[in-house]
């Protein structure tokens, strides 16, 4: 089988505060896609990291009386801890303070200069003296500094600019006429808001603070944090550095960058323009999702409405948290985070639908057959719908995941969970068990249920990687029964399968 390379990335997060459920959404989504591709046999490189430079970080460190490096080391650790808690299977973690990354950014900047896409000019704007920060007029709040609220003055400084305006036509074409942006519905918004009004050249250096990567030929200037940050997708593959030899050739262009809508503009306009200027291939896909809202607003540290992942994982289990944040999110829309919805969905889908469905099946195999099914079979027409639904599930899930619609993949899987539970009601195994003539029929019903749970749990593995192997032990599935190739093959479990009662997979959570 030919192995495809698959390179997927999350944004690199600002270590300006500990990660919350909003950050987790993108990372868990990418983790599911990465695991799914590994399951299909692809050669996956899953990248995440932290974006550690900039004035904000410099200021935060100062407030705490520590160096910016000590500050980012601490918060970056807290990101790594949360990713390990959530079972994130990233292959590489890039930090913009890593020496190899710095090397790439400086080389990229120099290359853009050499190719004539960067020139020196004057940046004019409003300046907040106490914060030592330039602000574009449109970022001011009531004409004052958005950070400290004090008055700003007119000021200008020497800076370098990237000729972004040259790329307007190619960017419009990329957004409107190719599959780069997903969902496509966001393309018009970008074209109308940013490209049509006239793309301006982009100021790509700052000189009012020092926590950043110096311009190699003019080190009093610091490379703009977004040029620094976007370059992570190249540096982490060893482009223009000698850290990861061969990876750039193997994995670039990226198969998918996942981001939320707040940073779509940087990835849909600035990033492709930079790559065009560098004459590098463009990423195949940019997946843009909405926000997780809390009380009607974006969940974010600055709003102060964040939900931390740890207490939720303690209460529900890690897999349930992974399930919940993906189940609720429709790619085009924002989604509300609500503890009530989480509780109701957990109990309905996981505790009752899946967990109870599996444990009931296992209990019946134990009760009626001592734990091992006999080989005799007797089919009935009522079986056909369940067998058809379970056999068709893999291709539906594949389509949904390929379209980055993870909530739809879960909806498809849980419609088969419902079908299995309905099948129990329709076939009433407890009635069959009373009639000795019906042993073969009873075994067939229970086998069909075990097969359905095998397919369902195999497809759920990327979403719930801890619980599904525990489920397999209970239904008697071997590792070879749950490989991707077997997940659309009905009749994979050995006919005389033995089950094993185990701990409750998803214990009910009561409303406190
Ligand atoms: N450092 C930049 C990204 C540079 S990428 C080259 C940045 N960092 S961030 O820490 O602010 O993280 C932004 C990303 O976090 C969003 O794009 C999104 O992926 C995720 N989210 C943060 N809050 C979120 C929600 N409330 N809802 C959904 N995703 C959110 O921007």
Ligand 1 touching residue 322 (CB < 6 A): no
Who contacts 499 (Cβ-Cβ below 8 Å, separation ≥6)? 361, 362, 365, 366, 371, 372, 450, 474, 475, 476
Ligand 1 binding pocket includes 11 (Cβ within 6 Å): yes
Ligand 1 site, residue 23, Cβ cutoff 6 A: yes
Q: Which long-range contacts (CB under 8 A, 24 or more apart) does 210-214 make?
A: 210/58, 211/53, 211/54, 211/55, 211/57, 211/58, 211/61, 211/68, 212/53, 212/54, 213/53, 213/96, 213/102, 213/105, 213/106, 214/106
Query: How close is the Cα of 274 to the center of ligand 1, in Å?
Result: 21
The structure tokens listed for 414 are 């849980």
Kindly state the tokens that stand for 277: 């200027």
Q: Is 306 in the pocket of ligand 1 (CB under 6 A)?
A: no
Give me 472's structure tokens: 């397999």
Q: Is the peptide bond before 253 cis (omega within 30 degrees of 0)?
A: yes
Distance 488 CA to ligand 1 centre (A): 36
Question: What's the rounded Cα separation, in Å, for the pair 256 and 280?
Answer: 16
Token couple for 233 = 């997708």
- Within the chain, what is the greatest distance between any pair of CA atoms? 92
Q: Which of 8, 16, 23 to mutate to test the pocket of ligand 1 (most atoms within 8 A of CB)?
A: 23
Distance CA 82, CA 17 (A): 12
User: Using a 6 Å cutoff on CB, does residue 259 contact ligand 1?
Assistant: yes
291 Cα: distance to centroid of ligand 1 (angstroms)? 9
> Using CA atoms, how far apart are residues 483 and 40, in angstroms rounded to an integer?
8
Secondary structure of 265-305 as H, E, C letters: HHHHHHHHHHHHHHCCCCCCCEEEECCEEECCEECCCCCCC
Cβ of 49 below 6 Å from ligand 1? no
Q: List the structure tokens of 467.
A: 């619980």
Rg (CA), the chain: 27
Place of tokens 């909003």: 22
pLDDT of residue 512: 66
Q: Decide if 287 contacts 404 (C-beta within 8 A).
A: yes
Q: DSSP letters along 35-76, please?
A: HHHHHTT-EEEEEEEE---SHHHHHHHHHHTS-HHHHHHHHH
Q: Atom 5 (ligand 1): residue with closest C-alpha? A: 11
Sign of the C-alpha dihedral computed for residues 119, 121, 124 and 130 taken in this order:
positive
Q: Which long-range contacts (CB under 8 A, 24 or more apart) does 348-353 make?
A: 349/323, 349/414, 349/417, 350/320, 350/323, 350/505, 350/506, 351/506, 351/507, 351/508, 351/509, 352/508, 353/414, 353/417, 353/418, 353/421
Q: What is the distance between the alpha carbons of residues 146 and 149, in angstroms, rounded to a whole number? A: 6
List the residue whose alpha carbon is closest to atom 9 of ligand 1.
13
Q: For ligand 1, atom 30, which residue shows the shortest CA distance?
A: 22
**292 CA closest ligand 1 atom index:** 27
Q: What are phi and psi of 271, to 5 degrees?
A: -65, -50
3-class SS of residue 198: coil
pLDDT, one tens digit for every residue, the chain (512 residues): 568 999 999 999 999 888 999 999 999 999 999 999 999 999 999 999 999 999 889 989 999 999 999 999 999 999 999 999 999 999 999 999 999 999 999 999 999 999 999 999 998 888 887 776 778 787 789 999 887 889 999 988 899 999 999 999 999 999 999 999 999 999 999 999 999 989 999 999 998 889 999 999 999 999 999 999 999 999 999 999 999 989 999 999 999 999 999 999 999 999 999 999 999 999 999 999 999 998 888 988 888 889 999 999 999 999 999 999 999 899 999 999 888 999 999 999 999 999 999 999 999 999 999 999 999 999 999 999 999 999 999 999 999 999 999 999 999 999 999 999 999 999 999 999 999 999 999 999 999 999 999 999 999 999 999 999 999 999 999 989 999 999 999 999 999 999 999 999 999 998 76
Beta carbon of 450 within 6 Å of any ligand 1 atom: no
């Amino acid at each position: 089988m030919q192995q495809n390379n698959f390179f997927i990335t999350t944004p690199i997060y600002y270590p300006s505060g500990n990660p919350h459920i909003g950050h987790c959404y993108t990372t868990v989504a990418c983790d599911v896609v990465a695991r799914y591709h590994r399951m299909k046999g692809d050669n996956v490189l899953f990248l995440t990291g932290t974006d550690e430079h900039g004035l904000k970080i410099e200021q935060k460190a100062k407030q705490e009386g520590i160096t910016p490096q000590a500050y980012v080391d601490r918060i970056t650790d807290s990101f790594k801890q949360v990713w390990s808690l959530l079972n994130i299977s990233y292959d590489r973690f890039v930090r913009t303070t890593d020496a190899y990354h710095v090397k790439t950014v400086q080389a990229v900047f120099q290359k853009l200069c050499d190719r004539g896409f960067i020139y020196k000019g004057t940046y004019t704007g409003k300046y907040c003296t106490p914060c030592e920060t330039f602000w574009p007029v449109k970022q001011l709040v009531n004409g004052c500094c958005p950070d400290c609220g004090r008055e700003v003055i007119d000021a200008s400084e020497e800076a370098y600019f990237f000729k972004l305006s040259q790329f307007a036509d190619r960017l419009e074409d990329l957004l409107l006429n190719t599959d780069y942006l997903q969902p496509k519905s966001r393309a018009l918004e970008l074209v109308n808001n940013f490209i049509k009004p006239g793309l301006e050249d982009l100021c790509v250096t700052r000189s009012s603070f020092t926590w950043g990567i110096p311009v190699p030929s003019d080190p009093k200037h610091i490379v703009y944090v977004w040029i620094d940050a976007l370059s992570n997708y190249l540096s982490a593959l060893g482009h223009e550095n000698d850290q990861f030899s061969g990876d750039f050739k193997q994995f670039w262009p990226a198969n998918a960058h996942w981001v939320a809508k707040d940073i779509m503009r940087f990835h849909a306009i600035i990033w492709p323009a930079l790559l065009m200027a560098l004459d590098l291939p463009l990423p195949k896909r940019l997946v843009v999702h909405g926000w997780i809202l809390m009380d009607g607003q974006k969940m974010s540290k600055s709003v102060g409405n964040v939900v931390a992942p740890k207490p939720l994982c303690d209460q529900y289990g890690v897999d349930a948290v992974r399930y919940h944040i993906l189940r609720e999110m429709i790619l085009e829309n924002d989604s509300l985070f609500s503890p009530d919805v989480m509780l109701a969905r957990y109990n309905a889908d996981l505790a009752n639908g899946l967990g109870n469905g599996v444990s009931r099946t296992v209990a019946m195999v134990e009760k009626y057959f001592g734990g091992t099914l006999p080989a005799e079979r007797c089919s009935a027409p009522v079986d056909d719908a369940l067998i058809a639904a379970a056999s068709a599930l893999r291709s539906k899930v594949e389509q949904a995941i390929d379209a980055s619609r993870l909530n739809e993949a879960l909806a498809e899987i849980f419609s088969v969970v419902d079908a299995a539970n309905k099948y129990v009601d329709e076939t009433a195994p407890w009635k069959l068990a009373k009639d000795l003539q019906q042993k073969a029929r009873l075994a067939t019903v229970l086998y069909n249920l075990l097969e359905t749970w095998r397919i369902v749990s195999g497809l759920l593995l990327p979403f719930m990687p801890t619980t599904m192997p525990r489920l397999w032990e209970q239904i008697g599935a071997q590792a070879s029964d749950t490989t991707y190739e077997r997940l659309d093959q009905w009749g994979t479990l050995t006919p005389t399968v033995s089950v094993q009662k185990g701990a409750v997979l998803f214990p009910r959570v009561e409303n406190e």
